[in-house]
Amino acid sequence: MPAVHRPLLLHPLVKPLVFLACLGPLAWLLLAAMLDRLGANPAEALIRGLGDWTLRLLWLTLAITPLREALRQPALARLRRMLGLFTAFYASLHLLAYGWLDMGLVPQDIARDIAKRPFILVGFLAWAGLLPLAATSFNRAIRALGAARWQRLHRLVYGIAGLALLHFVWMRAGKHHFVEPAVYGAVLLLLLGWRVRRSLVQRRHRASAMAPGRA
């Protein structure tokens, strides 16, 4: 009987390797901080580094479904939940680093700063939006909410991505750095365009299937 070869992405080591890869940026940032290699302003470098990796992981999470369909690799879907949870994890560390290193973990000072600086408020709202998505990313939550309601909730991730991008653009605008935000914006527009096109195609297929006279 010929041997059955499973797809590479279904190998048992794939998930542990992706897990370690997602922890890699955090390990590098912490090691650089301990070795005093984060530059003249290590607190700012750590806060921004965690924010940068939050964006990268969020964009990668959004890209999983398009890549899965374009590459015909359905096994990619098994990595989406992990990447989404790591996005929320890095976003929480980004907020914690800001609250600790910039504000000394004084709640009143943090609340005043969030209210006073709009780009921080936008980033805070993006982080708050990630929390219910992370909390409902498990099978038990999907069963409790029902598939349709769960899907509607998790479509909010595109709005959260928009807030995260606005936070990033606003923060970089102070130093007139627009190239990197423009790249993130272009990728997000492509992902949104793919999502809209896919929704329209699915809607046409459903309408066609329900049309009178079809077998």
Cα–Cα nearest to 76, from 142, 125, 8, 123 = 8
Averaged confidence pLDDT in the chain: 90
Q: At 193, is the secondary structure helix, strand, or coil? A: helix
Residue 153, token pair as written in the block: 């909730």
Over residues 156-196, the pLDDT tens digits come to 999 999 999 999 999 887 777 789 999 999 999 999 999 98
Question: Residue 207: its pLDDT value, please?
Answer: 73
The structural domains of the chain, with segments of one domain joined by +, span: 12-198
